[in-house]
Structure 1
């Protein structure tokens, strides 16, 4: 297959994971409300599997939490969406260049790809050439013997290239300023604590 791997930027509105999945599965960047409902329904339907130990909060509380558009998704949500669509979801982490593959054990025949910079998910697509319109993007790839062939190498190289350009956020040590009260915090943990204490969720990174 000819072409290049490109990063399709998804708006930073706390719903990037859902909208990135919406784009790679169906070229739709506005799927977040619907996919949050899908996840809440899946979690509510299996309280034994989705226990407080797994979710970090009681099942019912989590369902309300994920429906709130200010909250971000992560590994749990990606594994549910892989099952919902019947596709493997590969998430490339720029900082480590690791690829986390969701749905792999189900032997799905298709795979889609996301890229993660420590805070934000974008979509990965194959484009026929640099600058080609998004409607030419290929975002769903056939899986044969656990691989999607050369595309996999291209995606990994792309993640490595992004890493070498420093296109990620070190969430343990990055510095953020609260956009509401201008208080400075270090790392995701302090940001989460500040958000919980004040209700402020608008942070900007600064160096």
Structure 2
């Protein structure tokens, strides 16, 4: 197998999860509004499964919330999108180098990969060489009989561990951020999310 695993940067606009999934599934970084609707439809169609205890809010409230382009996605949304595309989604966490695999119990035959830095999702792709045009990216990988995707998996993990060594992640429990718009300081992911939701400001820089 020739090539390198590369990180394809997705814009930081509150929809990075959806656009990262759009890129690895469809080579399209502009699928967020469509995929938010897909998720809302899936949740609305199964209120027994997607109840208030599961969602943290009522089914109706969640559907209104997830279709708002200011709101961020996470594990619930990845599990639904995995089912929608009938592919596994591997989400690598830089801080822990853990891989959360969505759809792994469904017997899907293909997998895509994302990378997460504590606040933001980017796409992972196999490129024939460093700096090759994005048109050559391979983003969908066959899951073999032992439920791995072969050598690509270790290449992806090497990239994640390299990012971890460079501390290219945000410790979301107690990191300090400054809003790039109004310069206010916030501590932790919860305050950052609250500030973003209250003001619409999403341009944060970490500072120590």
**1:104 corresponds to:** 104
Q: Is the 8 A contact 2:70 2:200 kept in 1?
A: no
**1:114 corresponds to:** 114
**1:191 corresponds to:** 192
Inter-partner Cα distance in structure 2 for 1:173 and 1:51: 31
Distance 1:199 1:72, change over 3 A: same
Distance 1:180 1:161, change over 3 A: closer
- Superposed CA deviations along residues 16-48 of structure 1, whole A, max 9, x for unmatched, are 000100100110000001000000000000011
Q: Is the 8 A contact 1:176 1:203 kept in 2?
A: no
Q: Is the 8 A contact 2:114 2:121 kept in 1?
A: yes
Q: Is the 8 A contact 2:14 2:202 kept in 1?
A: no
Inter-partner Cα distance in structure 2 for 1:68 and 1:117: 22
Inter-partner Cα distance in structure 2 for 1:125 and 1:7: 7
Inter-partner Cα distance in structure 1 for 2:133 and 2:107: 32
Instruction: Give the C-alpha shift of residue 70 in structure 1.
Output: 0.6
Inter-partner Cα distance in structure 2 for 1:192 and 1:85: 28
Q: Is the 8 A contact 2:13 2:202 kept in 1?
A: no
Instruction: Give the C-alpha shift of residue 205 in structure 1.
Output: 1.9
**1:168 corresponds to:** 169
Inter-partner Cα distance in structure 1 for 2:179 and 2:107: 43
The TM-score with structure 2 as length reference comes to 0.95
**1:9 corresponds to:** 9
**Secondary structure in 2 matching 1:65:** helix
Q: Is the 8 A contact 1:178 1:200 kept in 2?
A: no
In the alignment, does 2:143 pair up with 1:148? no
- Superposed CA deviations along residues 72-107 of structure 1, whole A, max 9, x for unmatched, are 100000000000000000000000000000000001
**1:132 corresponds to:** 132
Q: How do 1:12-161 residues align onto structure 2 when only pairs under 5 Å count?
A: 12-144=12-144, 145-161=146-162
What's the Cα RMSD here? Answer: 1.3
Inter-partner Cα distance in structure 2 for 1:15 and 1:171: 18
The TM-score with structure 1 as length reference comes to 0.95
Instruction: Give the C-alpha shift of residue 201 in structure 1.
Output: 3.6
Q: How many residues align?
A: 206
